[in-house]
Each structure stands twice: as structure tokens, then as C-alpha cells.
């Protein structure tokens, strides 16, 4: 229970960082911390295979993609929304109420106690084999649909990039003829000048 | 071996993560921060699934492992969503030089 308390504390601090830190890079790194503690939680919950996948796919691939885009777009800090000032306190109040409701409900009506012997009997080894049995058995339709979804994602990403390339060429041609019509992104630091 | 942490504690933690993610979606102005908060909510759901998988260990290997397999599917969907979402975000940024969701209201009816 001590391990759980420390883990929950770190996880919630990371989650608060995602919501509160103004700098996107700091928020993304804070989410990495939360994802890594989630991997530890999966190990405690007898899912070591998922813990490995969590570190490799989530904390590795997905978060690198996020940080890459944040740095590519050179996003700065954000200011609180001036148009809807009531959203912030309302969102926090609703979130607090939700957490309190779940906590009260679960502590008032606890489920059946965990059977340590059954857990030890079911979760043996890394769990890869058992997950694969499920994935290619009852989850076969989901597996195929996820495959279709990933293919669609790839095609959509390529389509977006291609469209952007042709339209950027058009914008560049127009800018060359009639001056700058399009607002330019923030200027990139000139690497060659800095080097010299 | 220590007694396992009760499932209720994991579910409360998962609910807290989900609520914080929802607050992020509602209060953040940059679209990329909204995406980060959505990731937080997905992970909260994953944590609940894994905790329930452990709770259902008495029902046998098949039922217990189906919870973990569902997490696997959610992970793949999250990866696809991030790839397409960030692609759209970069495309929007090329035109608007901003990812502020308060400014992006072209598709509003």
C-alpha cells in the first residue's frame, strides 16, 4: 500500500503538470512521468507485458511524436481564455465532484476482496501468450478493425502532407509575384549565422 | 508476499486521472495540449481496465486476460489517433500560425 501511495502521488503530480504547466514542453515531459509511473502500476497489477508496451509505445514513440511537433511548431506558453472565464472554475469544480463521488461510492460499497491465490494462479509469466490467445481468439474482429484503422491513418497522414506540399507551392508562387500575402510562421533561427 | 492493493484504490486513482484529463481538455487553449489531455484520459481508462482484469482473476485466464487485451487495442487506436491528429494540427498551423482552439471555429455550424 505504501508503494501504491507513492505511485499515486507521483502520477497525480504528473497529471496536474499536464493540466497546469503553461509551457507545452514541460507539460509533455510531465505526461511522460505519468506514463512511466503507469507502467510501474501495470507491473504491480500483474501485467508486465503491458508495462513494456507502455514504455516502448507510449512513453517512447507517441511522446517523441508529441515533443517533435511541439518543437517543430515552436509553441510558446498560453494565456487563460478571455472569452469564457467561467469555464476554468466550472471544470475544476465538476472534476472535484466526480472524483469525490467515485471515491465515496467505492469506499461505501467495496467489491469482493482480491483472491491472492487465484491471482497468482492466473497471472503467470509475462502474459504474452495469454494476451495473444485473446487477441487472435475473441478479439479477432477488433484486431482486424485496428489494422484497417492504422492503414487509414497512414493514408490520411500521407494525404495531408501531399495536400500541404502542393498548396504551399501555390502560396510561395503567389508570394513571389505579389509580395507577402500570407502571415509567415515565426522565423527560424539561422543556423549558419550562429555557427559563424 | 504483500496483500494486493484493493481494486477500489486503483479505480479512484483512475477516476482522478480521467477527471484531470477532462479539466485539461476544457481549460487548455492550445490544440496540442488538448491532445495531451486526451492521452491522459485514455491512460486513465487503461489503468481501470488493467485493475478490473486483476479483479476478475477468479473468473479464469480468459476473462482476466481479455481486460489486458482491450488495453492493447486502445494503445493501437491511440497511436493512430496521434498520428492523424498531429498531422491535422501541423496542417492547420501552416494556415493559421496558431493552434488556439478558440480561434479555430471554421467548421462551426
- Domain-embedded: residue A168: yes
Q: For residue B52, give the CATH number of its domain.
A: 1.10.287.3510
- Domain-embedded: residue A24: yes
Quick one: pLDDT band at residue A12, thresholds 50, 70, 90? very high
Cell numbers found for residue A190: 539561422
- Domain-embedded: residue A109: no
What average pLDDT is seen over chain B?
A: 87
What average pLDDT is seen over chain A?
A: 84
Is the pLDDT at A194 greater than 70? The verdict is no
First-to-final CA distance of chain B: 59
Q: Which residues of B touch A105 (CB under 8 A)?
A: none
Q: If contacts are CB pairs under 8 Å, which of residues 14-53 in chain B contact chain A?
A: 15-24, 26-30, 32-33, 35-37, 39-40, 43, 46-47, 50-51, 53
3-state DSSP of chain B: CCCCCCHHHHHHHHHHHHHHHHHHHHHCCEHHHHHHHHHHHHHHHHHHHHHHHHHHHHHCHHHHHHHHHHHHHHHHHHHHHHHHHHHHHHHHHHHHCCCECCCCCCCCC
- The CA distances from residue B77 to A83, B64, B84, in Å, are 33, 21, 11
Contact flag A66-B36 (C-beta cutoff 8 Å): yes
- Domain-embedded: residue B108: no
Contact flag B24-A19 (C-beta cutoff 8 Å): yes
Tell me the ipTM for this assembly: 0.90
- Domain-embedded: residue B2: no
- Domain-embedded: residue A128: no
Give the end of a domain, one of A77, A112, A145.
A77
Calpha distance A63→A83 (Å, rounded): 31
Contact flag B68-A127 (C-beta cutoff 8 Å): yes
What would the mean pLDDT of B48-69 be, rounded to a whole number?
88
Any residues with CB less than 8 A from the CB of B100 and at least 6 apart, and which?
A: A78, B29, B30, B31
Give the A:B interface size as CB pairs under 8 Å.
247
Higher local confidence (pLDDT), A85 or A29: A29
Q: Which residue has the cell 503567389?
A: A174
Cell numbers found for residue A153: 491513418
Give the end of a domain, one of A61, A77, A93.
A77
- Domain-embedded: residue B1: no
Give the end of a domain, one of A77, A92, A126.
A77
Domain that holds residue B68: 7-96
Q: For residue A37, give the CATH number of its domain.
A: 1.20.120.1200
- Domain-embedded: residue B109: no
Domain that holds residue A162: 136-180
Question: Given this model, what pLDDT does residue B36 score?
Answer: 92
Alpha-carbon gap: A105 to the closest alpha carbon of chain B (Å): 10
Calpha distance B54→A114 (Å, rounded): 8
Number of structural domains (chain A) is 2
Q: Which residues of A touch B103 (CB under 8 A)?
A: none
- Global pTM value: 0.84
Number of structural domains (chain B) is 1
- Express each pLDDT in A124-168 by its tens digit: 878 888 889 889 989 999 999 999 999 999 898 888 877 666 777
Contact flag B8-A106 (C-beta cutoff 8 Å): yes
What would the mean pLDDT of B71-87 be, rounded to a whole number?
90
- As a whole-number percent, the residues of chain A with pLDDT over 90 amount to 44
- Domain-embedded: residue A118: no
What would the mean pLDDT of A17-36 be, rounded to a whole number?
93
Is the pLDDT at A16 greater than 70? The verdict is yes
Amino acid at each position: 500500500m505504501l508503494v501504491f501511495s507513492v505511485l499515486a502521488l507521483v502520477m497525480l503530480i504528473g497529471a496536474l503538470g499536464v493540466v497546469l504547466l503553461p509551457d507545452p514542453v514541460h507539460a509533455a515531459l510531465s505526461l511522460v512521468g505519468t506514463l512511466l509511473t503507469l507502467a510501474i502500476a501495470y507491473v504491480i497489477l500483474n501485467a508486465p507485458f503491458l508495462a513494456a508496451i507502455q514504455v516502448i509505445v507510449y512513453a517512447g514513440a507517441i511522446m517523441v511524436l508529441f515533443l517533435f511537433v511541439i518543437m517543430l511548431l515552436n509553441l510558446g506558453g498560453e494565456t487563460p481564455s478571455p472569452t469564457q472565464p467561467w469555464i476554468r472554475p466550472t471544470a475544476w469544480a465538476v472534476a472535484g465532484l466526480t472524483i469525490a463521488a467515485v471515491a465515496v461510492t467505492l469506499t461505501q460499497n467495496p467489491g469482493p476482496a482480491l483472491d491472492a491465490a487465484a491471482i497468482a494462479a492466473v497471472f503467470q509469466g509475462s502474459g504474452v501468450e495469454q494476451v495473444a490467445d485473446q487477441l487472435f481468439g475473441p478479439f479477432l474482429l477488433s484486431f482486424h478493425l485496428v489494422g484497417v484503422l492504422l492503414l487509414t491513418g497512414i493514408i490520411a497522414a500521407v494525404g495531408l502532407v501531399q495536400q500541404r506540399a502542393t498548396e504551399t507551392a501555390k502560396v510561395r508562387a503567389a508570394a513571389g509575384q505579389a509580395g507577402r500575402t500570407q502571415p509567415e510562421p515565426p522565423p527560424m533561427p539561422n543556423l549558419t549565422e550562429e555557427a559563424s | 508476499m504483500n496483500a494486493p492493493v484493493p481494486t477500489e484504490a486503483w479505480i479512484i486513482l483512475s477516476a482522478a486521472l480521467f477527471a484531470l484529463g477532462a479539466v485539461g481538455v476544457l481549460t487548455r487553449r492550445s490544440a496540442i495540449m488538448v491532445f495531451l489531455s486526451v492521452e491522459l484520459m485514455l491512460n486513465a481508462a487503461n489503468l481501470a481496465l488493467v485493475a478490473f482484469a486483476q479483479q476478475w482473476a477468479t473468473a479464469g485466464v480468459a476473462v482476466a486476460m481479455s481486460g489486458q487485451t482491450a488495453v492493447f487495442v486502445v494503445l493501437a487506436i491511440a497511436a493512430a489517433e496521434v498520428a492523424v491528429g498531429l498531422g491535422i494540427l501541423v496542417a492547420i498551423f501552416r494556415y493559421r500560425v496558431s493552434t488556439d482552439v478558440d480561434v479555430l471555429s471554421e467548421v462551426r455550424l
